[in-house]
Chain A
Amino acid sequence: MNTRTLLVTLVGLGWFAGLGSAADAPRLPQPVQRSVDFNREVRPILAHRCAECHGQEKAKGQLRLDSREASLKGGRGGPAFVVGKSADSELIRRVAGLVADQEHVMPPKGARLTAEEIGILRAWIDQGAKWNTASLIDRGPPPSVAPRQPAVPPGDGHPLDRILSVYFAKQGITPPALVSDAVFARRVYLDVIGLPPAPQALTAFLEDKSPDKREKLVALLLADGRGYTDHWITFWQDHLRDGKKDLGTTDVFTPVTDWLEHSLLQNKSFDRFASELVNPAENANLPAPVPERDDVPRVATPAVKRITDAAGFIAGLQAGLEVPRGDQAWQVQAVQNISQVFLGVQLKCATCHDSFLDRWSMAETWGMANIYAEKPLEMMRCEVPTGKKPAPRFMFPEVGNVDPTAPVKERRAQLAQLVASPKNGRFARTVVNRLWARLLGRGIVEPLDDMSVQPWNADLLDWLAADLVAQRYDLKKTLHRIFASRAYQLPAVEATPAETAYLFRGPLLRRLSAEQFVDALAAISGRNERAWRENGNRLLDVLGRPDRRTVATRRECQSSPLQALELLNGAELHTLLFEVRSQALQAEDVVLQVRQVFRHALSREPTEKEARTCASLLGKSPSAAGRSDLLWIIAMLPEFQLIR
């Protein structure tokens, strides 16, 4: 058993690790040695692990833990805690398992609190149990989403860098020198068109002596509509949970691919882009019909209709709905997806009950859903009908509201307008944050789908958002702003452990996306193929292409043996590398071949030692197999798979 397995096994077995003998009786974890922040550290524990049973809805044991006052008043077991004395607090005893009756150990559902979490609660109680909101979840009015135009510090430079220079000074960070031209070129090519620069283009750029050549390159790349679309379409397909469907068996999942490709090629303004998704064209096919039956071969099914409008996004996923469930009606899915993607709010919690995590209530979610409903939907509380049918209502009344008496058609148009309104600063902030995260590895706000969290630099976020609006919602302009900034051109840094507070020092080291990896290899071997056109396959899957059942706003790609097995011996990669048509690799001179592959794949020359290794693999008269193996050994280099 290797280290990893042992540890994974420990994780797996962790939940019952406490059973052992009586000698292993639980002990009280120590309070953490720092000043604890209620909002950031304590509130999530109480909201997530306690409030479901000890809150507004239920008060088991007559205890509520959703305000300081209620906690001090306590329930049948007495006050929840004694301010300043965590060791004597009932809450701590129960979560630490220091009670005689195992039935009293809290929380009864799910994993127990970790030592760290208990340590946080102890420190918080010892430090006076400061509670800076009236209740655990402040269900006051929604947070303000008004746009804000921050003042940019004086100076010449790029506005983003002027904002960040204040930040760096405050944090005591001296930013290092910008990356070299070659590293910049590889990075920006991959970020705009999803491919590394071809050797000739790279050489031309390196030899260019003009001082503004980086900005010129950015402009040149962004002007390549086809390349831009072929790269950014995967980003949007993830967000719109879109995939090409050529199966022709059911109509349960309606792709928006054609519409999306067209919109990106046109560089459709982002307000229009969102409006068309929220309020698709008249001929929209809503809702997607639930399949009649699946027990007879569907030979007579007509070919899939080519739907060129955006209706598939709000139509949601009707696949496999065994009995249509009220809380997953297409209208509910539509507003969950719209709020997540465009407004940075997760309404999934607040669909089945008032959220335990944030201020959103069921009535607000269903009020949004009912904007789309011909007949108002009845709220379902955890699958049980409530008898209540909230009137159509927009979630941020500050921006405006829909007319609840207007016909659905008009309400939809009103919703589209409210979502993409310049008065709705949340809309612009959400998308610029997503772009920043895609390019620099981490959002200005994290998580990306909870825009109520404090950004690490509000001026940076608000400036980008205001700029997007000023630029008429042209996303390419925002991309240009970011690429041209010194911030983007700093050397890549390793991700810091999640436990430590985030400091911006430069872009995070990113791994090529599944599509970038596959497309780059195709390009190096001389083929112009783009993986997004594929229906997904094992290779793309193991490299992190999300399952498009749900909206995915961020990709995860962890190295794993299964992934490595696919890289080492999978059919897709084998086929991909099988045929190498590249001119470069047909060259007479073996050393020249190696140099060309290095330039294309890594944007650099091989060292002498590297060239020797590669030449030895190729042999004196390289065969097709030799060339395919050369490409493989280079493709497997972390240097190839990472964006420095």
Chain B
Amino acid sequence: MNRIDRRDFLKSAALAGLAAGMPKYVCAKPQAAARADQMILLWMGGAMSQTETFDPKRCTPYSKGMDTKSLLCTFPTIDTAVDGIKFCQGVEKIAGVIDRGAVLRSFVAREYGAQAEDLQHIPLQFKWHSGYTTPSTVAAPYLGAVVSKLLGPLNPDIPAYIEIGRSEQTANVFLALQAFRTSGFLGSEYGSLMIPEASQAGAVIRSRLETGRFENRQKHFKELVEASPIAELGGSAQKESMLASLESAYRLMKSPAAKAFDLSAEAKLLYDTYNTGPFGRGCLLARRLVESGARFVEVHVDFENAKGWDTHDDGHNGQAKMKKTIDAPVAQLVRDLEKSGRLDRTLIVLATEFGRSTIGRGGSKAKTIESPKNYGLHGHFGAAASCLLFGGGVKKGTVYGKTNDEYPCETVENPVPIHDLHATIYQLLGISPRHSFEVEKRPFYVTKDGIGKPIQALVG
């Protein structure tokens, strides 16, 4: 009992009763149990162009003076492992595993209309992750923090929520606020363990102190605790909880699970397959962590203005470059988890804050394209974006949603707002989309106002 603090104890005392056969009335409505125990979110920060990746359109080669609005796509269409699903050139390896997953083509960050092209990355990244817009009256937690709070760690030695590849730098400018926290009102204990660079992950878990010193320090600390006069603070629940959590962190650093953080243990050939850059290495680390029992891992393509997926010029080459960094590692991640038998209980979601068009914010203002630098999808677009889902209860080989085949390729069938996408994810993880927390005496629902509806067509 001394492993948990008093507050948890009191909360759980009621639940212990529940487990011991007290009446059960916590159920909202009959709902399928969890289909996935673990989740990997592959975050395409910076707005991945949907029509250059997973939602191919008529491809028009570059010609000087071409009509800006006639340009929908700059890559030829390719076949995938599923008849009837086509992708764009450059994601052949992912195309080869889409029979293990589903493609959602109708994620709508903002409905088509006057403002569908006037979106900003950071607020919409926040909205994608939290389901809420800022500023909100309470600090809304991110998906990973909610999962961490509600499901807790799967392996007690591995923190429930781990983020890979979001640099501390970005963490600081996120929302232009210092010390921005993804755990929101849930409190930092449900926040993420941050690993800015996958290849350095070992350092997060490996002691900073030289061999022997770390253990020696711990040994003396324990002795000192024993030696402390009991009368000073005898029997304090707070004291017990502080000591217990320190002990569990020490256990983590010493546990076999800590090896999961070390990429150098990986075979060279496989390492090279993943090693397309920070994101690729992040996928490899995510795989290792999930195999060791991590609950929720997010791998970022870190967002930087006008870099990465944020192609405001030279879009054709920019998107081609980005596809190269994701194609092999994402496909390999799916294959590896399948091989180890974990894919069925691990949900992988690849997503981005919104899509792109030629014209929107930051895009072309000219009616014609006059230079190869202007050839590409350079503008922001809210009315369609693509998202992939694999494993953990996802209906295999599915396409959901449809976009227009003409400019601006907006969603024309089955639009999916963020609360429905979240509801789908939550349902697969066994969490009710209407689950609520109490904040300042008001209910706070995990999907906005509890309105999220799971997309059953995506559930296998």
* Residue positions of A touching B, CB distance < 8 A: 1-5, 7-20, 24, 26-29, 44, 48, 96-97, 102, 105, 108-116, 118, 243-245, 247, 249-250, 252-253, 291, 293-298, 316-323, 325, 328, 333, 336, 346, 348-349, 351, 357, 447, 449-450, 494-495, 497-499, 509, 511, 535-538, 540-542, 544-545, 547-550, 556, 558-565, 567-569, 571, 574, 607, 609-610, 612-614, 616-617, 625, 629, 632-634, 636-639, 641-642, 644
Q: Which chain B residues lie closer than 8 Å to A497 at the CB level?
A: 6, 10
Does B249 contact A321, Cβ atoms closer than 8 Å?
Answer: no
Query: Which residues of the partner chain A approach B229 to less than 8 Å between Cβ atoms?
Result: 607
Query: Which one of B48-56, B63-71, B114-122, B330-338 contacts A?
Result: B114-122
Knowing that A544-B188, A549-B135 are A-B contacts, what are 16 other residue pairs whose CB atoms are under 8 Å apart, sorted by A's residue number? A13-B430, A18-B26, A113-B25, A115-B22, A295-B362, A322-B124, A357-B441, A449-B440, A495-B6, A537-B179, A545-B179, A559-B5, A559-B241, A568-B250, A569-B208, A638-B236
Contacts of B122 in A (CB 8 A): 294, 320
Q: Are A10 and B23 in contact (CB under 8 A)?
A: no
Interface residues of B in 251-300 (CB under 8 A from A): 252-253
**CB-contacts of B428-460 with A (<8 A):** 430-432, 434-436, 440-443, 445, 450
Complex contact B245–A563 (CB within 8 A): yes
Shortest distance in angstroms between B19's beta carbon and chain A's nearest beta carbon?
Answer: 6
A27 touching B236 by the CB < 8 A rule?
Answer: no
Name B434's contact: one of A109, A244, A569 (CB within 8 Å). A109
Asked if residues B159 and A561 are in contact (CB atoms below 8 Å), the reply is: yes
B443 and A110 within 8 A (CB): yes
- Interface residue B412 (Cβ < 8 Å from any Cβ of A): no
Q: Return chain A residues, CB-CB under 8 Å to B217.
A: 617, 629, 632-633
Q: Which residue of A lies closest to B7 (CB)?
A: A558
B180 contacts across to A, CB distance below 8 A? 547, 549
Check B227–A613 contact: CB distance below 8 A: yes
Tell whether, in the assembled complex, residue A48 and residue B24 are in contact, meaning their CB atoms are under 8 Å apart: no
B342 at interface, CB cutoff 8 A? no
Residues 2-27 of chain B: 1 if any A CB is under 8 Å from the residue's CB, otherwise 0? Answer: 01111110111011111100111111
Contact with A along B219-250 (1 / 0, CB 8 A): 01101110111001100111101111111111
Residues of B within 8 A of A537 (CB): 179
Which 10 pairs from chain A and chain B are nearest by CB?
A: A536-B179, A18-B27, A560-B189, A564-B249, A8-B152, A320-B123, A638-B239, A7-B12, A110-B436, A27-B23
B320 adjacent to chain A (CB < 8 Å)? no
Instruction: Give the residue name and chain of the B residue nearest to A103 (CB).
Output: B29
Contact (Cβ within 8 A) B172 A247: yes
Contact B120 A293 (CB under 8 A): yes
How many Å from the CB of A497 to the closest CB on chain B? 5
Question: B312 at interface (Cβ–Cβ under 8 A)?
Answer: yes
- Report the minimum CB–CB distance from B350 to chain A (whole Å): 22
Q: 1/0 contact trace for B169-186 toward A, CB 8 Å? A: 000110111111100100
Task: Enumerate chain B residues within 8 angstroms of A541, measured Cβ to Cβ.
Answer: 179, 181, 188, 191
Q: Does B57 contact A (CB under 8 A)?
A: no
By a CB distance below 8 angstroms, the chain A residues around B26 are: 14-18, 111-112, 114
Complex: A105 Cα to B25 Cα, angstroms = 10
Within 8 A of A (CB), among B183-205: 184, 187-189, 191, 193-194, 204-205
CA distance A161 to B114 in the complex (A): 65
Contact of A494 among B138, B191, B236, B306 (CB under 8 A): B236
Which residues in B have their C-beta under 8 angstroms from that of A249?
Answer: 173, 176
- Report the minimum CB–CB distance from A192 to chain B (whole Å): 23
Which of A18, A545, A567, A634 is the one whose CB lies under 8 Å from B25? A18
Contacts of B238 in A (CB 8 A): 494, 509, 511, 559, 638, 642
Q: Is the Cβ of B139 less than 8 Å from the Cβ of A3?
A: no
Residue of A nearest to B380 (CB): A295
The docked-state distance in angstroms from the alpha carbon of A243 to that of B172 is: 12
A16 touches B442 (CB 8 A): no
B404 at the interface (CB under 8 A from A): no
User: Is A499's CB under 8 angstroms from B208's CB?
Assistant: no
Could you say which residues of chain A place their CB within 8 Å of the CB of B6? 494-495, 497
Q: Which residues from A are CB-within-8-Å of B152? A: 5, 8-9, 11-12
Stretch in contact with the other chain, from B74-82, B83-91, B94-102, B126-134: B126-134
- With contact pairs A14-B26, A17-B26, A24-B24 given, residues A295 and B312 touching in the complex (Cβ less than 8 Å): yes
Q: Contact: B3 with A4, CB < 8 Å?
A: yes
Q: Judging by beta carbons under 8 Å apart, are A296 and B306 in contact? A: yes
CB distance from A580 to the nearest CB of B (A): 14
Name the residue of chain B whose CB is nearest to the CB of A316: B135
CA distance A616 to B216 in the complex (A): 10
Please determine whether B177 and A613 come into contact, CB atoms closer than 8 angstroms. Answer: no
Choose among A291, A319, A537 the residue with the greatest number of B CB atoms under 10 Å from its CB: A319
Residue from B6, B17, B184, B442 having most chain A Cβ neighbours under 10 A = B442
